[in-house]
């Protein structure tokens, strides 16, 4: 693909993905509440989910996605339900920690499916790849090599954005030392997570 086309795609994705939304809210809430060490499955699922939407658009499967609208609705509400569950767990999480221990982490599999549900069920991401992307890139002329180039460009942009959010959330977490501060952090994270669930549900 032409470098100019890849730069335009990267710029549009930077604006779309960099703006706070349900996925970013869920990620930041998780890091502030539990730390950054266990968010990799969540991040990996977010990146894979976006690659799925990109692939659907590039290979002309937008019609297929619309035909299976019910499946995507189910994925959306599964993601909403799990985000609401995580919000409840954060709200009720114990704040008495010793020797740097944190409350028990969720399993990587649960985090992966949570990230996948948030990404595949997020209308903002869906509309970017299935509606906005065709106005930026001539998808009819994209070859397999072009798809690989777009996917690599997408990965670079998303990794940079999400890691920046993780670092910012981790820095904020380090400021929270007391039990009272931890309780406030849990409540704020729970509210943010619930807001992410509500944002997805409302769209």
Query: Residue 84: which pLDDT band, with cuts at 50, 70 and 90?
Result: confident
Q: What is the model's pTM?
A: 0.67
Q: Do 41 and 27 form a contact (C-beta atoms < 8 A)?
A: no
Q: For 22-72, write each residue's pLDDT tens digit.
A: 777 778 777 877 777 778 888 999 999 999 999 988 887 555 555 666 766
Q: HSE of 189 in the Cβ direction (CA atoms, 13 Å)?
A: 29
Mapped onto helix, strand or coil, the DSSP state of residue 74 is helix
CA distance 50 to 151: 9
Distance of CA 7 to the CA centre of its chain: 22
DSSP E strands, the chain: none
């Amino acid at each position: 693909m032409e470098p100019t086309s890849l730069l335009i795609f990267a710029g549009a994705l930077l604006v779309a993905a960099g703006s706070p939304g349900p996925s970013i809210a869920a990620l930041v809430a998780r890091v502030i509440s539990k730390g950054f060490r266990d968010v990799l499955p969540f991040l990996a699922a977010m990146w894979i989910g976006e690659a799925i939407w990109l692939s659907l658009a590039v290979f002309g499967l937008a019609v297929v996605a619309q035909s299976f609208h019910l499946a995507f609705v189910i994925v959306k509400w599964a993601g909403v339900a799990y985000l609401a569950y995580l919000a409840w767990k954060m709200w009720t999480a114990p704040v008495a920690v010793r020797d740097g221990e944190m409350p028990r982490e969720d399993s990587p599999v649960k985090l992966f499916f949570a990230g996948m549900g948030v990404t595949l069920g997020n209308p903002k991401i869906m509309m970017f790849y299935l509606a906005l992307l065709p106005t930026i890139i001539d998808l009819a002329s994209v070859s397999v090599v072009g798809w690989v180039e777009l996917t690599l460009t997408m990965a670079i942009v998303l990794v940079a954005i999400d890691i920046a959010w993780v670092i910012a959330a981790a820095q904020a977490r380090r400021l929270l030392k007391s039990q009272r501060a931890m309780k406030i952090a849990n409540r704020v994270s729970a509210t943010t997570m619930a807001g992410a669930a509500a944002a997805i549900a409302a769209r």
